[in-house]
Amino acid sequence: MEYLEKILEKGLLARSIEEIDLGKNKGIFVKIGIVSETTSFLIIRNNDATETTGEEFFGQERVVIPGSKWRGAERTYALSLLRKYNGLVPQEYERNAIEKKELLIRNPLSALYGDSSIGTGNEATSIASRIYYDWSYSFELLGLITERFTHNTLSESGTILLDKGETARNALYNTQYIKPGVKFVRFVTLENVSKELLDLAILTIMGTRRYGARTAIVGENIYNNIIAIGFSRGDKPLTSYTLLSNAWSTNNYDPEKQITQNMEEIYGDYLLGGNDLKFYLSEVIKLKDDKDKLTQYANAIVKKMQIDWKDRFEKKNNKKKKGKGEEENEDTEDQADSDLSN
């Protein structure tokens, strides 16, 4: 890890999960600069299922991709990756449907993406996320990078028809797609993480290829190119909007170059880029098929969560005698604050 040694020595990244306190905010941030390019058609919907999400900037309508669209796809990929190896994620774990809070700290991804229990009383709690997703905006006008296709709803005999042989009103519909070849700038920021958590986040970003709606039909549609990784005390005011605002105002868009220049100015010596970044990414991608290493990471993260959050997730039965001949009462554990990072 020679390429990371300066960053580790400066305390801008913990060497291992054992070195950090998951319950405290140390103000250490890692920002990942990414260019995500469409490699097939992409559907980003709003309240209208046929319309691409857009907003007006600098007098023109542009495509907008909310951070939740990136986060949801990547979290799903991370779960499927770990589930490939039995035991890394509890078999009974079901995303957004957890009723027993102890399942949260048996899933190593909870330490990165956060999670919550829908249980009641003592079983209701949540874990704060330590990975934050930027929104993305297109440089080009929405109308120039989208295209509409008409689809038909099929029955066994073909397009759904009315009794008189006419096409049913709801049988034909159109959907607006973002075309292939569009580059979106985005930043993913991590707070108070170790190298294990950073590796998992990077592996997830590199591995996720399906975003937006109807991915079972459109297939892989995004390639993520990680341009640079910056390390700092305190988060830095660099977002896709600040970068795109300058691009819109100057009518100049070279996303890879602009991410590099902006992050070099902000992070200086504590920026991982160039050949060092390429070597680091080549090492991380090997984790995808390394069951032993992923198991080591998962076990270490789960163990740390169980230690740091023992009081929150361990049921306590504090018995108090009211008096001679009276039954004992059990005090229920108070629900902890949901934001562990404060």
| pLDDT digits 0-9 by tens, 48-71 | 777 899 999 999 999 999 999 999
Residue 244 belongs to some domain of the structure: yes
pTM greater than 0.75 = yes
Q: Which whole number is the average pLDDT over 304-327?
A: 64
Residue 332 belongs to some domain of the structure: no
- 186, pLDDT greater than 70: yes
Q: What is the number of structural domains in the chain?
A: 1
Phi-psi region of 105 (alpha: psi -120 to 50; beta: other; left: phi over 0): alpha
Length of the chain counted residue by residue: 342
Residue 115 belongs to some domain of the structure: yes
Residue 63 belongs to some domain of the structure: yes
* More confidently predicted of 155 and 101: 101
What is residue 163's predicted lDDT score, i.e. its pLDDT? 52
Residue 338 belongs to some domain of the structure: no
Residue 159 belongs to some domain of the structure: no
Q: Please, which residues bridge with residue 188 across strands?
A: 32, 133
Q: Identify the band that residue 170 occupies on the pLDDT scale cut at 50, 70 and 90.
A: low
Across all residues in the chain, what is the average pLDDT?
86
What is residue 172's predicted lDDT score, i.e. its pLDDT? 65
Percent of the chain with pLDDT over 70: 85
Residue 235 belongs to some domain of the structure: yes
Q: Identify the band that residue 331 occupies on the pLDDT scale cut at 50, 70 and 90.
A: very low
What is residue 334's predicted lDDT score, i.e. its pLDDT? 37
Q: Give yes or no for a contact between 305 and 110, defined as CB atoms under 8 angstroms apart.
A: yes
- Cα–Cα distance for residue pair 329/226, rounded to 1 Å: 56
- List of residues 6+ apart from 191 with CB closer than 8 A: 25, 28, 29, 30, 130, 131, 132, 235, 341
Q: Give yes or no for a contact between 50 and 173, defined as CB atoms under 8 angstroms apart.
A: yes
Q: Give yes or no for a contact between 100 and 313, defined as CB atoms under 8 angstroms apart.
A: no
- 29, pLDDT greater than 60: yes
- Cα–Cα distance for residue pair 259/326, rounded to 1 Å: 70
Beta pairing, strands 183-191 & 222-233? unpaired
Least confident of 16-25, 176-185, 298-307: 16-25
Least confident of 40-49, 163-172, 189-198: 163-172
Q: Give yes or no for a contact between 133 and 201, defined as CB atoms under 8 angstroms apart.
A: no
- 233, pLDDT greater than 60: yes
Least confident of 21-25, 218-222, 264-268: 21-25
What is residue 263's predicted lDDT score, i.e. its pLDDT? 98
Q: Give yes or no for a contact between 198 and 192, defined as CB atoms under 8 angstroms apart.
A: no
What is residue 315's predicted lDDT score, i.e. its pLDDT? 61
Q: Which of 163-177, 258-272, 319-333 has the highest mean pLDDT?
A: 258-272
Residue 165 belongs to some domain of the structure: no
Q: Please give the residue range of the domain that contains residue 285.
A: 2-142+182-314
- 307, pLDDT greater than 90: yes
Q: Which whole number is the average pLDDT over 17-30?
A: 91
Fill in the DSSP letter of residue 131.
E
- Cα–Cα distance for residue pair 333/330, rounded to 1 Å: 9
What is residue 161's predicted lDDT score, i.e. its pLDDT? 52
